[in-house]
Structures are given as C-alpha cells and as structure tokens.
Amino acid sequence: MDGIGIVGAGVAGLHLGLLLRRHEVPVTIYSDRTAEQLSGGRLPNTVAHHHVTVERERRLGVDHWDIGEYGYFGHHHYIGGPSPLRFPGFFAAPSRALDYRIYLPRLLEDFLSRGGGFEVRPVQPADVVTLSERHDLVVIASGRGSMGTVFPRRADRSPYDTPQRRLCAGLYEGVAPTDPKGVTMSISPGHGELLEIPMYSFAGHVTALLFEAVPGGDLEELADADHDEDPAAFHKLVLGKVEQHHPTVFERIEPGRFRLTSPQDLLQGSVVPTEREDYIRLPNGRYTVAVGDVHTVVDPVVGQGANCASYSAWELGQTILADQNFDERFCRKVARRRQDRVQSTSDWTNLMIRTPPPQHLLELLGAMSEHQAVADEFTDNFSYPERQWDVLATPERTRNHLARHGIGG
C-alpha cells in the first residue's frame, strides 16, 4: 500500500498533498493535466484567498507572493437602486488573488520538490476501486468530468436545481485599482452582482471582472456574448453594462484601454450549487472521501469555493495525521470536523443568490452602510463563513446581531 492517493491537482488536492508531505506521508496526486497544461489554457476561475487561506499557505510553506505587493485590504460595496449605498468594509488581514494558472503549477512544483508523486492520467469513476487497492486511502479532489457522480447528491442540502447566476469572468486592463486596494462588490438589484478583483496574472497586476447575472436580467447577455467573434463589440457591450449597472467600477475605467488581457482570459458559464455526500463505501469495502468542488460546489458570488476547498483539505489532512484507520469512523470524523464551515459556506452563498434577496440580508447591508463595525465584521467573515451564517441563518439572528451593535430593537 502506497500512502494517500489524491485525484485532482486543484487547490484542495495540492494543499492536502503539501500538508501530508510536511509530515512525510507518501502521497500521489493524479491529474488529467500536466504541469504545463495547468499553466496554460483558458482562465480557470477568479479566485481570491482570504486570510485564513493565506495563513494556511504560510503553514504549508507556499506563501511565495508577498502580501504587501499582492494583497488587498477589503471590500468596496455599491448597492444600486433609487438611493444607492456606497461603503467599504475591511479585513483583519489581507486577502490575495492570484491567477490559478500561475498558482497551481507553482504549488505542484513545491509538492514535487518535497517528494510528492504525480501521475498524469485521467481517472474515471470506474477507476476509483482500483486506485483504492493501491493506496491506504483515495481522496477525490476533482469535480471535473464525471467524478461528481461518485458521491450522491444531497437533496436536503441542495436547494437549487438550476444555476441562480450566469457567469462572465474575465481579466481586463484599463481599470484603475481602488484605493485602498480592494475588491468591489457592486449589486444591481434584479440584475446581479459585479465582483471586481485586483488579481495577479501573466500580464502583471490586472483586474478581474466577474459578472454574476440573474437569469432573465439585463446582464445575462454577457454570459453568452462571443468575444472572439468580435472583440470590439464584446468590450463595448461589457463597458456599457458596467456603465449602466456598476457606476463605481465604471468611474475607474479608461474606455480607450479597456480590454481583456488575452482572448483566453475569459470564462463564461454557470454553476448549480450542489452538496454531495462526504464519503462513500466502495464495493470492495474501502472508503473514499470527497473534498472541494466534488463535495460542495458553490456559486462564486462571495468567493468561497477555493477557500472552502483548502479548509476542507486541511481538516481532512489533520484527520489523516491523527488517525490512519480509513474506515467509516474516520470518514465520519472528517465530515463532522469540517461540517460547520463547509455547510455554512454553502448556506450563506445560497442565501446571497436568492431571488428576491431575503429582507434580513437587505437589513444587514443597510446597517453595514451606516456602521463601519458591522461592515468590517461582515467583510472579515469572508474568512469565517460559519460566523457569517451565525448572523444570517435566520431573521432573528440578524436582528440579534444588529442589536449587539446597538442597532434597531
């Protein structure tokens, strides 16, 4: 038996592999992509790592990007409507957004240099049993292809059957950063959100624009617009939508310079938020554990997917280090250990994309616009989704939260 097998070389697979290698556990990562393929191709996402994830990177020895240069300090909110609201919120420590085509290959290099095994080969659901007989434990850390079918969907935890947002994510030049450097979260009621993220990519410090378009709303056409067919028309369309719906971003755009940093730096699509079982028992009696998107996929609207995958990988890794009996008791420990943060991530994200938005979320946003401490707490809770859910799980919780801040009642 050969230690731990990890299917997937995304943030979950690599963080888990790096953690285990720090403790000399034999690990093999299986990926359907070579290191070169990880660094090329289309923009894979527009991920930001919040400070708990950055701290995890420090502990894994992969904190290669100086937070002073690559970090940002909070969120600039804009909520449109008849009386627009505009206010910032600050983290307790900076977040950092890196192009995963730079980030993942660098972490893979670290993993290899620390004795990790890496095999490039596609793994299908039918291959999991065979892998399980080669390793003490197989972890599925890839939601790509059909791997999701390995773990049953949890209908009780998956409230949506269709995407609640259609997505258009791209890296752009011609957008001046905010001061202080931060993400802009701009909401166009009824139409969707724009996340503007200061990101480091091949072109240097660029701007990610992630449009979260409500199906049927005025922004939806961004998810279908074809850049390559007519780049100028695409940029004009995007610019027009930003001008109309997201004025605090538009005011920093230099229209003549506004364009994608590359035709490949565009990703359009959508996500059906889905939770799946934590683990399954294979036909041979062994168990396999899900981590990351294959376990819980969330809409990117509050930038939690990668952070949650890293967290989940870390907790799984700690459980592996503490108990090397990979039976159902082990799997239940993993599930219990990560449950609150992972489910809170999912619950909170699903609340944020509900249409119409729940009244108590609007009340919280309103209070944030008037009370810096409330805005800062909401913002820092991007590192602690279970605390966010403590505030937002019910209208009573939001009311009690505001009362603790001396608001309302």
Q: How far is the CB of 139 from a second copy (least distance, A)?
A: 19
Query: Closer to a second copy at the Cβ: 234 or 389?
Result: 389
For 267-295, give the DSSP string: EEEE---EEB-SEEE-TTS-EEEE-GGGT
Query: Closer to a second copy at the Cβ: 79 or 289?
Result: 289
Q: How far is the CB of 404 from a second copy (least distance, A)?
A: 9
Q: How far is the CB of 333 from a second copy (least distance, A)?
A: 7
Q: What is the CA radius of gyration of the chain?
A: 21
Query: Closer to a second copy at the Cβ: 158 or 400?
Result: 400
In contact, 28 and 135? CB cutoff 8 Å: yes
Interface with a second copy (CB under 8 A): 323-325, 327, 329, 333, 336, 339-340, 389-390, 393-394, 396-397, 400
Query: Closer to a second copy at the Cβ: 95 or 381?
Result: 381
Please give the backbone phi and psi of residue 242, each rounded to the nearest 5 degrees, phi first: -65, -45
User: Which residues fall within 8 angstroms of residue 246, CB to CB, at 6 or more apart?
Assistant: 78, 80, 184, 186, 188, 194, 196
In contact, 157 and 339? CB cutoff 8 Å: no
Query: Closer to a second copy at the Cβ: 150 or 308?
Result: 308
For the beta carbon of residue 204, count every other beta carbon within 10 angstroms.
9
Q: How far is the CB of 328 from a second copy (least distance, A)?
A: 9
| Rounded Cα–Cα distance for residues 215 and 338 (Å) | 32
Answer positive or negative: Cα dihedral of 334, 147, 149, 42. Answer: positive
Helix (H, G, I), strand (E, B) or coil at 101: helix
Query: Closer to a second copy at the Cβ: 153 or 399?
Result: 399
Q: How far is the CB of 117 from a second copy (least distance, A)?
A: 24
Q: How far is the CB of 389 from a second copy (least distance, A)?
A: 7
Q: How far is the CB of 380 from a second copy (least distance, A)?
A: 17
| Rounded Cα–Cα distance for residues 343 and 225 (Å) | 34
| Rounded Cα–Cα distance for residues 360 and 191 (Å) | 19
Query: Closer to a second copy at the Cβ: 210 or 308?
Result: 308
Query: Closer to a second copy at the Cβ: 26 or 125?
Result: 26
Q: How far is the CB of 329 from a second copy (least distance, A)?
A: 5
| Rounded Cα–Cα distance for residues 343 and 335 (Å) | 10
In contact, 272 and 15? CB cutoff 8 Å: no
- Residue written as tokens 């239940």? 332
Please give the backbone phi and psi of residue 40, each rounded to the nearest 5 degrees, phi first: -110, -165
Query: Closer to a second copy at the Cβ: 14 or 331?
Result: 331
For residue 26, give Cα distances in angstroms to 2, 30, 112, 316.
7, 13, 12, 15
Q: How far is the CB of 284 from a second copy (least distance, A)?
A: 14
